[in-house]
């Protein structure tokens, strides 16, 4: 027996040495064998250039160029003629990818396959949970016919897709307009030359889409058989339109509402698509207060302002881009608040003032308007200040997901979902894990609900984690998605930069948006793991200095890993995804982890961006335990457990004032291939509402907890206001 002891010790020592060798090899592979990408020299603004985009600066204003067009900003309304292209389109799947060979892109002359072509209603998601194509991954085709809208002869035409999932190529009348990878932000093409404009002429748009992830797409593929943590939807799932645009038009507006300066500082980018003689024009700006009364106006004419209240000039630059700068003073600005969405309306009118014979006449002025709000965000060690007061974000995370519509979000669904958000007594929605529809952003703004926007840089570099969870077969190990091997891929990071810039361009003027999120649960170990995200933060801050930036960090319940998340110190505040009590540990362990993070980062407040537990609607503790994927045994998937965990987290949050907000995961149950063994197969059941939007017990519990916190906050605010009034009264009497 004694002779076996040295043998056992030797075997143990060999095993330990093998583990150490494997760990060292992995560290070397992560740190020294990854592709080289110098983030210190990679442009964040001017000079940035990537797949399908470049960044230029005109008179100090950043302009994103895509498909050789300046990227238009979001405007609430215009007087331009627009033809919505929603409605009935032809649709066909192409699992063998033979559509190009068969000439499906050739417009009216193409013969689409009999029996495989169907009529669908765009916006359309072809693989929703209730669709016959719910498990389809691959190529599909769309086609629509339309007549060119009437317009002035000096107008040009812009085809705008609000978003297409995930990769797309577009043809008009057989002419290829371009290709794109990226499924959550708008993109445009100049279709003036390809349009048939004769009376009665029919035009045909064909779109080839592909919903499969790649190693450099957003979201990125992170394993050989990997889907993201939501269903990889596909299709033309947001609106499409053709807009008739004057040759001299307003491209975008950057409006900074500054409460302390009592002014709206505007930078209006004007696009001139003509090489004729110099065009003189006049820009009239009028601002209306929330009560509907005019409160300020300015006029910028030619190369200078004629209104003494709005200084600065229009500086015309090369490339047909001009920038008009002016200031609109506001005597008594009222702040945009949660529950009190006080919105100002800015109307801009661009008209021609030139009498030169070869100038381009504006037959009708170009008019645009947008809604603005006075709202300032500042991060301090104690929390997040909004309009000068510390606020607690009573939040919820939300996916774009519905059993019937998939990722498509009709206005009626958005309105009903936000009704539930307000019944929850929430004041904040985390829009996960990608830029959401503009209609939802507008609805949040109009209701006075705070929001954050996130780009789809999801679990980048975590291929090893996906591999461990999915199959663990050595031949399937995702070397290309292992740590920095993915995050140093130039194309991936440039795609992330483009989506971030597109999101900011679209939504910068929305006062409901508090901050930008540059990723979710990505690889951030060691100092090298922080560099990609420090670079993305600089991209966001240069494009929009008014908002803080964060990213949601995963927690593994492994102290060695959780204590080395180097990106935390790069962010303006900390966002943590915690699943103590579900995937690992217990809720009490979350308290210890939060205290430890606070010790490491004492000057940064914390938002808990995710936590929760699955609960099958109607399932009780009495139903016993349920065995499913990814979760340790011993879970009941009951509504009681979900409610109990929610209360435990809220209690530990109450005891830690450095936690300034939460957004539990998730608003409603959603379609996800990760969970075939759940009580409802292929659904993530962490929703506070079911997929049919029926509330669970945790919904009512959190609604009551939020109501109590709201009541306490209002009481503190009233005491503060009363104390301020008393001090002012004493000073007056003195």
516-559 pLDDT tens trace: 999 999 988 888 889 999 999 999 999 999 999 999 999 988 88
Among 176, 211, 246, the domain-final residue is: 246
Among 222, 246, 270, the domain-final residue is: 246
- Contact by Cβ (8 Å): 361, 352: yes
CA angle in degrees (0–180, nearest 5) for 213-215-221: 50
Residues 187 and 226 in one domain: yes
Residue labelled with tokens 């952003």? 441
What confidence score (pLDDT) does residue 194 get? 94
Query: Quick check: is 345 in a domain?
Result: yes
Query: Quick check: is 53 in a domain?
Result: no
Which domain CATH number covers 650?
Answer: 3.20.20.80
What confidence score (pLDDT) does residue 734 get? 46
Residues 240 and 252 in one domain: no
Residues 237 and 255 in one domain: no
Residues 78 and 131 in one domain: yes
Residues 203 and 296 in one domain: no
- Contact by Cβ (8 Å): 46, 55: yes
Residues 459 and 418 in one domain: yes
Residues 439 and 346 in one domain: no
What confidence score (pLDDT) does residue 565 get? 80
Residues 569 and 656 in one domain: yes
Mean pLDDT in consecutive groups of 10 residues from the start of the chain, 734 residues? 57 68 60 74 93 93 94 94 96 94 83 80 97 95 90 86 98 96 97 90 96 95 79 97 94 94 96 71 95 95 40 46 94 96 98 63 83 97 95 98 97 98 99 98 98 97 71 67 84 97 98 98 88 97 97 89 84 97 93 95 97 97 88 89 98 96 98 92 97 98 97 80 49 45
Residues 199 and 274 in one domain: no
Distance (Å, whole) CA 377 – CA 83? 38
Distance (Å, whole) CA 481 – CA 460? 7
Please name which of 380, 376, 377 lies closest in space to residue 604, comparing C-alpha atoms: 380
Query: Quick check: is 385 in a domain?
Result: no
Query: Quick check: is 536 in a domain?
Result: yes
Query: Quick check: is 371 in a domain?
Result: no
Distance (Å, whole) CA 352 – CA 365? 7
Residues 83 and 166 in one domain: yes
Main-chain dihedrals φ then ψ at residue 52, nearest 5 degrees: 80, 10
Which domain CATH number covers 105?
Answer: 2.60.120.260
Query: Quick check: is 44 in a domain?
Result: no
Query: How are strands ordered across the β-sheet holding 187-190?
Result: 82-84, 240-246, 155-161, 187-190
Which domain CATH number covers 319?
Answer: 2.60.40.10
283 contact partners, CB below 8 Å, separation of at least 6: 268, 270, 299, 300, 301, 314, 324, 326, 348, 349, 350
Query: Quick check: is 559 in a domain?
Result: yes
What confidence score (pLDDT) does residue 310 get? 35
Residue 564 DSSP class:
T
Residue labelled with tokens 């996130």? 454
Total tally of structural domains belonging to the chain: 3
Backbone φ/ψ region at 576: left (φ over 0), alpha (ψ -120 to 50), beta: beta
pTM to 2 decimal places:
0.92
Residues 530 and 425 in one domain: yes
Residues 231 and 252 in one domain: no
Query: Quick check: is 318 in a domain?
Result: yes
Among 246, 267, 295, the domain-final residue is: 246
- What domain range includes position 642? 392-720
Distance (Å, whole) CA 692 – CA 706? 23
State the sign of the Cα–Cα–Cα–Cα dihedral 192, 196, 199, 204: negative
Q: pLDDT tens-digit profile of 284-334?
A: 999 999 999 999 999 998 642 333 333 344 444 445 888 999 999 999 999
């Amino acid at each position: 027996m004694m002779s076996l002891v040295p043998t056992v010790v030797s075997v143990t020592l060999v095993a330990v040495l093998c583990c150490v060798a494997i760990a060292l090899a992995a560290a070397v592979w992560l740190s020294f064998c990854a592709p080289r990408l110098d983030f210190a020299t990679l442009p964040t603004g001017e000079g940035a250039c990537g797949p399908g985009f470049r960044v230029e600066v005109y008179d100090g204003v950043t302009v994103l160029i895509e498909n050789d067009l300046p990227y238009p900003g979001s405007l609430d309304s215009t007087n331009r003629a627009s033809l919505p292209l929603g409605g009935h389109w032809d649709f066909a799947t192409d699992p063998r990818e033979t559509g190009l060979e068969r000439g499906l892109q050739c417009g009216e002359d193409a013969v689409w396959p009999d029996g495989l072509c169907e009529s669908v209603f765009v916006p359309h998601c072809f693989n929703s949970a209730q669709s016959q194509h719910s498990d389809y991954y691959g190529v599909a085709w769309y086609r629509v016919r339309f007549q060119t809208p009437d317009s002035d002869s000096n107008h040009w035409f812009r085809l705008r897709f609000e978003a297409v999932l995930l990769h797309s190529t577009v043809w008009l009348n057989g002419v290829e307009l371009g290709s794109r990878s990226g499924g959550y932000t708008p993109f445009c093409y100049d279709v003036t030359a390809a349009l048939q404009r004769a009376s009665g002429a029919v035009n045909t748009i064909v779109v080839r889409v592909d919903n499969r992830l790649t190693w450099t797409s957003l979201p990125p593929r992170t394993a050989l058989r990997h889907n993201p943590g939501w269903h990889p939807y596909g299709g033309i799932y947001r609106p499409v339109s053709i807009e008739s645009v004057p040759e001299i038009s307003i491209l975008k507006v950057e409006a900074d509402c500054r409460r302390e300066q009592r002014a709206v500082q505007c930078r209006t980018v004007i696009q001139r698509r003509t090489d004729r003689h110099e065009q003189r024009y006049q820009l009239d700006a009028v601002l209306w207060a929330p009560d509907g009364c005019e409160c300020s106006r300015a006029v910028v004419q030619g190369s200078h302002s004629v209104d003494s209240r709005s200084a600065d000039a229009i500086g015309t630059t090369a490339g047909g881009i001009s920038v008009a700068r002016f200031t609109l003073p506001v005597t008594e600005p009222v702040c945009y608040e949660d529950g009190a969405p006080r919105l100002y309306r800015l109307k801009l009118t661009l008209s021609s003032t030139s009498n030169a014979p070869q100038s381009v006449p504006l037959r009708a002025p170009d008019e645009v308007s947008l809604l603005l709000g006075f709202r300032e965000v500042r991060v301090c060690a104690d929390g997040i200040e909004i309009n000068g007061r510390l606020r607690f974000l009573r939040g919820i995370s939300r996916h774009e997901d519905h059993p019937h519509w998939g990722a498509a979000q009709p206005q009626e669904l958005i309105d009903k979902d936000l009704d539930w958000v307000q019944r929850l007594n929430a004041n904040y929605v985390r829009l996960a894990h990608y830029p959401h529809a503009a209609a939802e952003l507008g609805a949040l703004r109009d209701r006075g609900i705070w929001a954050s926007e996130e780009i789809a840089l999801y679990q980048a570099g975590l291929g090893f984690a996906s591999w461990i969870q999915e199959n663990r077969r050595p031949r399937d190990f995702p070397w290309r998605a292992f740590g920095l091997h993915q995050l140093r891929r130039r194309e991936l990071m440039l795609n992330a930069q483009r989506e971030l810039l597109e999101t900011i361009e679209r939504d910068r003027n929305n006062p409901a948006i508090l901050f930008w999120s540059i990723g979710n649960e990505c690889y951030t170990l060691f100092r090298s793991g922080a560099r990609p995200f420090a670079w993305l933060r600089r991209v966001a801050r240069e494009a929009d200095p008014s908002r803080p930036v964060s990213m949601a960090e995963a927690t593994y319940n492994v102290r060695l890993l959780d204590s080395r998340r180097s990106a935390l110190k790069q962010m303006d505040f900390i966002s943590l995804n915690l699943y103590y009590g579900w995937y690992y540990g217990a809720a009490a362990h979350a308290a210890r982890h939060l205290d430890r993070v606070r010790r490491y980062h004492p000057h940064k407040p914390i938002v808990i961006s995710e936590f929760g537990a699955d609960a099958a609607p109607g399932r009780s503790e009495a139903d016993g335990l349920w065995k499913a994927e990814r979760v340790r045994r011993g879970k009941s998937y009951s509504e009681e457990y979900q409610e109990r965990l929610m209360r435990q987290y809220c209690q530990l949050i109450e005891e830690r004032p450095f936690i300034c907000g939460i957004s539990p995961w998730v608003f409603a149950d959603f379609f996800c291939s990760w969970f075939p063994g759940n009580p409802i197969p292929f659904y993530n059941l962490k929703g506070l509402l079911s997929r049919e939007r029926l509330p669970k017990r945790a919904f009512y519990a959190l609604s009551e907890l939020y109501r109590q916190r709201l009541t306490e906050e209002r009481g503190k605010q009233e005491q503060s206001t009363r104390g301020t009034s008393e001090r002012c009264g004493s000073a007056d009497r003195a």
